[in-house]
């Protein structure tokens, strides 16, 4: 393939890369080396600067300062076209494909071969067959990409990247959405490409992948390199330490609850399964308790929680609420059972942005607040005021102001108020502080702890281990559709969570 024919060993050195967004420097002069025939694993937490760094190398962003040297030629500013001409191909976290088009079309996307404006379909198919053959995969070039499995789509993306003159392949968390088996296939490709002399930069935060695939590991933390070593020379713990640094100790535990924890679980899953999503999950949440369900994207954690709210149905096992087996088929029946739900996507699934805060608080309680089927504004205003101070919602006193005018954190508090107004006894929260600024995050944690003290049962699903540490009385760790650990009290630490989840 093109990568092989390129011949000379590829060498890229990024030097002293700095980049700021809105006055905040996110990369403080970072170096990165990528050499043909070797794999660099780029590790780091969210916000460490990994994606920014590789996007600069791919020409998507322009560095504020620093240079990129490719095959001895120094470049101060790359653009996507120049980067592509230099042989840099990047595969982003989110698919950049056109799912309604065929595999062959996707591979030639933006570079359809043709004559006098007519597509040369034979050439399109030929190119696709050639490259898929090189990759030794059995994907029909004539099927629509939308009909492929996620792992296959990823491979089509790689095929597209390689069908150009790719000599450096950058993969940004390619396995985030892949099953274990699909990830294995991907690793197989990566090894092949490495043998063929392609340089590979592999972004991940799964530590187990590093030793499996990489030659070198580079850890970024807060925009600087925290560790740079050969994979054989570092331990897993070194990498975790480098990723989270001093903050490992900074993430403090909440005090042990002084109130009583109920004996009977409010929510309890027993050997619960959902085909191909999670298997034999058993977990419980008691009244007065904050339980974290920690798992990465694709671990099945979100899906487990969604079964409590009628958004998915178990295919095996059972769900109990207050020691009673329940069949929750819809949000309506979950709400009737006293369960409240805060979705991860606050804007699309939680808040009514163009409606007032009063309505946003009252909506789930309308049937309760109504007098003869009628809702008066005063009732909603009272409901809003009831919770505004208790949850320290920073907004004006008027219940009429639009939800969209509040900050993300305060919107989240309004949504919390919705379920308090509804007198929910159990709350399921998915990524409750995603996109919430630090100050409001503290408020929300404090509010959740206080609510637990009133006897509410809280299940917080999170992919942020610090969040789990900061909030939970008890934490379950999920990976690959199963619960792999249960931690209690001060045993909930970032290290424990990361190790249990497989890095």
Partner 1 sequence: MTEDQAAADDGRAAGVPPAAPPADQAPVRVRMPIKLPETAALLGVLVVLIAFFSLTSPFFLRFDNIVNILQNVAVIGIIACPATLLLISGQFDLSVGSAAGFVGMLMAVAAADPETTRVPFALGLPIWGAVIVALLGAAFVGLINAFAVTVVGINALITTLGTLAIFRGLTKVLGDGQTIRIQGFGELGVVRPLLDIPLPVYLFALVVILFWFIQRYTIYGRSMYAIGASPVAARLAGIRTKRAIFIGFMLSAGLVALAGLIRLSQVGGASVNTGIGFELAVVTAVVLGGASLAGGRGTILGTIIAVFIVGVLGNGLIQLRVPSFWIEVAGGLLLLGAVAFDQLRIRLAPAN
Q: In the complex, which residues of this chain contact partner 1 (CB under 8 A)?
A: 247, 249-255, 309, 331-332, 335, 341, 343, 347-355, 359, 363-364, 366-367, 370, 373-376, 394-395, 400-402, 404-410, 418, 437-442, 445-446, 449-450, 466, 470-471
- Of 316 and 336, nearer to partner 1 (C-beta) is 336
- Of 167 and 418, nearer to partner 1 (C-beta) is 418
Give min distance, CB of 396 to partner 1, in A.
8
Between the CA of residue 321 and those of 278, 283, 287, 303, 334, what are the distances in Å? 20, 12, 11, 17, 10
- Of 4 and 404, nearer to partner 1 (C-beta) is 404
Give min distance, CB of 70 to partner 1, in A.
39
Give min distance, CB of 254 to partner 1, in A.
6
- Of 133 and 349, nearer to partner 1 (C-beta) is 349
Any residues with CB less than 8 A from the CB of 94 and at least 6 apart, and which? Answer: none
Give min distance, CB of 315 to partner 1, in A.
22
- Of 214 and 369, nearer to partner 1 (C-beta) is 369
Question: With 0-12 CB in 10 A as exposed, 13-18 as middle and 19+ as buried, what is 354?
Answer: exposed
Any residues with CB less than 8 A from the CB of 85 and at least 6 apart, and which? Answer: 165
Rg of the chain taking only CA atoms, in angstroms: 25
Give min distance, CB of 142 to partner 1, in A.
29
- Residue among 192, 191, 229 at smallest CA distance from 212: 191
- Of 229 and 251, nearer to partner 1 (C-beta) is 251
- Residue among 22, 173, 24, 185 at smallest CA distance from 95: 173
List beta partners, residue 229: 217
Give 129-152 as a DSSP string.
HHHHHHTT----TTSBGGGS-HHH
Give min distance, CB of 251 to partner 1, in A.
6
What is the C-alpha separation between 49 and 51, in angstroms, rounded?
6
- Of 55 and 441, nearer to partner 1 (C-beta) is 441
Give min distance, CB of 471 to partner 1, in A.
7
Running DSSP on this structure, what letter comes out for residue 112? -
Running DSSP on this structure, what letter comes out for residue 260? P
């Amino acid at each position: 393939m093109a990568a092989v024919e390129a011949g000379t060993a590829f060498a890229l050195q990024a030097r002293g890369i700095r980049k700021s967004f809105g006055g905040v420097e996110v990369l403080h002069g970072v170096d990165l080396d990528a050499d043909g025939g070797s794999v660099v694993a780029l590790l780091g937490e969210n916000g460490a600067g990994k994606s920014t760094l590789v996007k600069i190398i791919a020409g998507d962003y322009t560095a504020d300062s620093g240079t990129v040297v490719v095959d001895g030629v120094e470049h101060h500013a790359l653009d996507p076209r120049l980067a592509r001409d230099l042989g840099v191909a990047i595969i982003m976290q989110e698919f950049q494909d056109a799912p309604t088009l065929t595999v062959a079309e996707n591979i030639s996307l933006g570079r359809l071969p043709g004559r006098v404006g007519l597509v040369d379909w034979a050439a399109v198919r030929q190119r696709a067959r050639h490259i898929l053959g090189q990759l030794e995969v059995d994907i029909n070039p004539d099927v629509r990409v939308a009909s492929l499995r996620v792992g296959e789509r990823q491979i089509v993306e790689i095929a597209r990247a390689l069908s150009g003159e790719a000599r450096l392949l950058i993969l940004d968390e390619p396995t985030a959405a892949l099953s274990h088996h699909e990830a294995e296939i991907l690793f197989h490709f990566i090894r092949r490409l490495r043998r063929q002399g392609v340089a590979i930069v592999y972004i991940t935060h799964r530590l187990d992948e590093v030793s499996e695939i990489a030659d070198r590991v580079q850890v970024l933390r807060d925009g600087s390199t925290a560790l740079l070593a050969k994979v054989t020379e570092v331990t897993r713990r070194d990498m975790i330490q480098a990723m989270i640094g001093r903050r490992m100790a900074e993430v403090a535990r909440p005090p042990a609850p002084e109130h009583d924890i109920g004996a009977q679980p409010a929510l309890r899953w027993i050997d619960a399964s959902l085909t191909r999503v999670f298997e034999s999950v058993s977990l419980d949440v008691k009244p007065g308790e904050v339980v974290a369900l920690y798992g990465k994207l694709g671990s099945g954690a979100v899906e487990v929680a969604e079964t409590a709210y009628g958004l998915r149905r178990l295919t095996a096992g059972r769900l109990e609420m207050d020691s009673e087996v329940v069949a929750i088929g819809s949000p309506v029946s979950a709400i009737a059972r006293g369960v409240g739900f805060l979705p991860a996507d606050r804007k699309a699934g939680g808040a009514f942005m163009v409606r007032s805060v009063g309505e946003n608080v009252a909506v789930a309680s309308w049937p309760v607040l109504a007098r003869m089927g009628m809702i008066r504004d005063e009732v909603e205003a009272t409901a809003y005021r009831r919770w505004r101070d208790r949850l320290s919602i920073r907004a004006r006193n008027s219940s009429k102001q639009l939800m969209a005018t509040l900050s993300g954190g305060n919107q989240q508090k309004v949504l919390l108020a919705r379920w308090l107004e509804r007198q929910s006894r159990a709350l399921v929260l998915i990524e409750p502080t995603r996109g919430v600024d630090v100050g409001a995050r503290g408020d929300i944690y404090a509010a959740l702890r206080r609510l637990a003290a009133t006897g509410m049962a809280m299940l917080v699903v999170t992919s942020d281990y610090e969040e789990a540490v900061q909030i939970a009385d008890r934490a379950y760790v999920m990976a690959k559709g199963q619960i792999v650990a249960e931690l209690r009290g001060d045993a909930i630490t970032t290290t424990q969570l990361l190790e249990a989840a497989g890095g």
